[in-house]
Structure 1
Amino acid sequence: MSRTRLYRDGVLAAENFPVADISDYLPETDTAVWLDMCAPDEEDLAAISEELGLHRLAVEDAVHEHQRPKLDRYDTHSFLTAYAVRLDERTAVLTDSELAVFITPKALVTVRKSDDFAIEEVVARWDSAAELAKGGVGFLLHGLLDYIVDGYFEAVQSLDEQIEELEDMVFADRVNHKDMQRRSLALRKSLVRLRRVVLPMREVVNALMRPSLRLASEEMRPYYQDVYDHVLRASEWTESLRDLVTTIRETQLTIQSNRLNTIMKKVTSWAAIIAVPTAVTGFYGQNVPYPGFDQNWGFWVSTVAIVIISASLYALFRRKDWL
């Protein structure tokens, strides 16, 4: 399946026309063509590749999955790989959708690796900023990048909120440690995955702003700068959150260790107190004569000794905050 658009003099002139008609529009002046393809193979790209003079290596990268975010420059065009992300707030699992983009002076070709990439939202952004359509391919590319980078912001903001909830759980009186560990590991995994797609985009957007590519015109340059600022903030935010999750995990382990030490002190203190009557009664239970043997006062001496020693130990442990 494919989708097409034609902009002429900054106005949407045609839509969903046959791919074969693209060659008729390219020679015209002040035109920009958009072609979108979903999960094509090399044969599907062969015709448009010959028409636009696409490099063989770029076509192979557009077909194969799991490319890193990058911008490759060739003689007649540039090739961009990027990822849109989406976060499941219930499970804190981040999913990404890969996109390959061919950028020529008059045409923008997007190759989606699956239907997960919401291309309709990109089209909606183009329609909402129709006054910028005179920017041609630069306008189309900006709308695409703006959608992708805004997705990074939404994901990192949601992750920040979930990490704040995780911080509150650390110091709660009753903590489900198993659930907290699962949650913290899921957040860290999502942050690592987000970092892999966000950090390279800084260099990609910066390279797209170079005058040699002639994409960011004087009118479009502030908009590209805005996208660059957003991706820069998203990458820095991701880095800080990744460190924060690690700190929360270490804090949780420290609190667990401190609680365990407190419990051990209490158990040891009570064991020492309980050992006193055990020792005294054991001593007086010997089958040999001792002071007070077979006498009532001997019983009372042992009882008083148990009470005094146990009370002394209890007071000592309380003063040391062991009980």
Structure 2
Amino acid sequence: MGCSGLIYGYELDGQGGGKALSGSDIETGCPDAELVWLHFDYTDSEARDWITHKSGLSGVVIDALLTGESRPRATQVNEGLLIALRGVNLSPDSDPEDMVGIRIWIDGKRIITTRRRKMLSAKDLVDAIEAGTGPDSAGDFLVMLSSALMIRMYDTVNATEDIVDGIEEELIATSRYELRNQISEVRRTVISLRRYLSPQRDAMLQLNQMRVSWFTEGHRQELREVTDTLIRYIEDLDTTRDRATVAQEELANRLAEQMNNRMYLLSIVAAVFLPLGFFTGLLGINVGGVPGTDNPWAFWIVSALMTATVAAQLWLFKRKHWF
């Protein structure tokens, strides 16, 4: 039987590999080993029961590992670190900005992580352990997991830049209304991504300042590189957001200009036909005494007069550079 909520479990050998653990191996508690990683689905009732009653963790840590929503953060509890991070959602039919969270407790001998939705970065670590190239210490695990989260974000961040590139190129050739929906969508994606990545940057910077015995200066140096990558992603998102804003303003200006040109043309047409409407209305009144009713040339005379009026108007409009 064992704990059904255990997704991955490994007893790490300190050389990049590890022995896989099952739910039955942790039935009575965390194995007594140099370094153990246990990855749970915290929505599973058995996983929640194990973390609550058999993990030996404090109440604060248990609550953090089982909470439904958590903002990225890093907190030191004695010789352990309580961390919450997020990664992009790369599951099929999902929005990348609908980010998935992972909660981590790491104290040098135990690494306990929990999640609700599938996280591919955890699977990357499993593949590395199976290949013998995984983490060899608790500090190395933290660096590798953070790095895996950043690597998974790369394609998503670049995709937003590519979308804006395409919009800018299309904006040069056309001013379709459909571009407004594309720009709004990419801006929404960028804003959502940045809203989650900004607190994650703060959490990573906090991690660099924390001092625990198992997290060496070499680990901090590697984590700073990961943090620099995250900061660059945020800067790229800021640039993409600004470019999308400029493209949206440019499109709005062009559409407004098109509308103004059409309204201007209609105004010119209305101005040309205004005196013609006056003439026809005046001559069409149903009262006696209208001149030319008995003259067979009256229609042609009126037509010539209206033609001359239109020509005079067009000449005047042209002279004043109204069109």
1:36 aligned onto 2:45? no
Match of 2:166, as an amino acid? E
Pairing of 1:1-323 with structure 2 (within 5 A): 1-2=5-6, 3-17=8-22, 18-19=25-26, 20=28, 22-25=30-33, 31-39=34-42, 40-41=44-45, 42-50=48-56, 54-86=57-89, 94-117=97-120, 119-125=122-128, 130=133, 133-134=135-136, 136-173=137-174, 175=176, 177=177, 179-210=178-209, 212-214=211-213, 216-285=215-284, 287=287, 289=289, 294-295=294-295, 298-317=298-317
Deviation at 1:256, TM superposition (A): 2.3
Deviation of 1:101 after TM superposition, in Å, equals 0.5
Quick one: distance in 2 between partners of 1:64 and 1:184? 35
Give the CA deviation at 1:262: 1.1
Q: State the alpha-carbon separation in 1 of the partners of residues 180 and 91 from structure 2.
A: 18
**Alpha-carbon distance in 2 for matches of 1:92, 1:47:** 36
In structure 2, distance between residues paired with 1:306 and 1:92? 64
* Offset of residue 220 of structure 1: 3.4
Q: Give the Cα separation in 2 of the matches to 1:270 and 1:189.
A: 42
CA contact (8 A) 1:87 1:95 kept: no
Structure 1 residue 21 displacement after superposition: 7.1
How far, CA to CA, are the matches of 1:284 and 1:91 in structure 2? 70
**Partner secondary structure for residue 35 of structure 2:** strand
Q: 1:73 to 1:158 in 2, by over 3 A?
A: same
The alpha-carbon distance between structure 1 residues 108 and 115, as it changes in their structure 2 partners (threshold 3 A), is same
Task: Report the Cα distance in structure 2 between the residues aligned to 1:110 and 1:280, rounded to whole angstroms.
Answer: 87
- Alpha carbons of structure 1 residues 239 and 48: separation in structure 2 relative to 1, 3 Å: farther
Amino acid at match of 2:55: S
With over 3 angstroms needed to count, the CA separation of the structure-2 counterparts of 1:166 and 1:316, relative to structure 1, is farther
Task: Out of 10-19 and 287-296, give the one that drifted further.
Answer: 287-296
Displacement of 1:102 after TM fit? 0.4
Q: Deviations over 1:147-190 (max 9, x none)?
A: 11223332121112122233344455462x3x444433332322
8 Å CA contact retained: 1:101, 1:109: yes
TM-score of the aligned structures, taking structure 2 as reference length: 0.82
For 1:238, give the aligned amino acid: L
Q: CA deviation at 1:260?
A: 1.4
Query: Measured at CA, do residues 169 and 96 of structure 1 come closer, stay the same or move farther in structure 2, by a change above 3 Å?
Result: same
Name structure 1 gaps, 5 residues minimum.
26-30
Select between 97-106 and 298-307 the one with higher mean Cα deviation. 298-307
Question: Quick one: which amino acid aligns to residue 4 of structure 1?
Answer: G
Query: Amino acid of the residue matched to residue 273 of structure 1?
Result: V
User: What whole-Å deviation, never above 9, does each CA across 1:65-101 have from its counterpart, x for those lacking one?
Assistant: 1211111221242111111113699996632111110
- Between Structure 1 and Structure 2, how many residues are aligned? 311
Query: Which stretch of the first structure deviates more once superposed, 268-277 or 61-70?
Result: 268-277
Shift in CA distance, 172/276, structure 1 to aligned 2, threshold 3 Å: farther
User: Structure 1 residues 117 and 97 mapped into 2: Cα distance closer, same or farther (>3 Å)?
Assistant: farther
Q: Decide whether aligned partners of structure 1 residues 32 and 69 sit closer, same or farther in structure 2, where only a CA change above 3 A counts.
A: same
| CA distance in structure 2 between the aligned counterparts of 1:140 and 1:127, rounded to whole angstroms | 14
Could you tell me whether the CA contact under 8 Å between 1:69 and 1:82 is conserved in 2? yes
- Kept after mapping to 2: 8 A contact 1:126/1:143: no
Equivalent-residue separation in structure 2 for 1:159 and 1:79 (angstroms): 32
The answer on whether the counterparts of 2:121 and 2:148 sit within 8 Å (CA) in structure 1 is no
Q: Matched residue of 2:68: which SS?
A: coil
Normalising by structure 1, we get a TM-score of 0.82
What percentage of aligned pairs have identical amino acids?
A: 18
Q: CA deviation at 1:226?
A: 1.8
Given that residues 87 and 93 in structure 1 are in contact (C-alpha distance below 8 angstroms), is that contact kept between their aligned partners in structure 2? yes
Is the 2:84–2:101 contact (alpha carbons within 8 Å) kept by the matching residues of 1? yes
Matched residues in 1 for 2:88 and 2:98: separation?
6
Q: Is the 8 A contact 1:37 1:110 kept in 2?
A: yes
Q: After superposition, what is the alpha-carbon deviation per residue over 1:263-311, rounded to whole angstroms, capped at 9, x for unaligned?
A: 1111111122222332233344455657767445654443233222213
